[in-house]
Amino acid sequence: MSLTAKQVEKLLLGNHKFEHLNFSMLLMRKKMLYARNASPSVLQECTTEICGFLDKFKVHMSTDYTILEKL
């Protein structure tokens, strides 16, 4: 699954709940990073890492994809 930078920004600024613990932990780390420095380069870094994670673990995250598709 590939998310746009705008969708990732919604994730980073929102309060979504996900079942996959590892994804929730990754998202929390990226939220803290983005809160400290909300620059386009940090957003791109977050987008790249989040999309990479989603591609790698797409089988395990099928229930969370419904939330992500609504962004």
**What residue segments make up the domains of the chain, in order of their start?**
5-69
The Cα–Cα gap between 16 and 2 comes to: 18
Render pLDDT for 7-66 as a digit per residue (tens, 0 to 9).
999 999 999 888 889 999 999 999 999 999 999 999 999 999 999 998 888 777 777 877
pLDDT score, position 64: 80
pLDDT score, position 29: 97
Residues with Cβ within 8 Å of residue 63, at least 6 apart in sequence? 19
pLDDT score, position 71: 80
Give ∠ CA 27-60-42 in degrees, rounded to 5: 25
**pTM check: above 0.85:** no
Asked whether the predicted pLDDT for residue 69 surpasses 90, the reply is no
Residues with Cβ within 8 Å of residue 3, at least 6 apart in sequence? 11, 47, 50, 51, 54, 68, 71
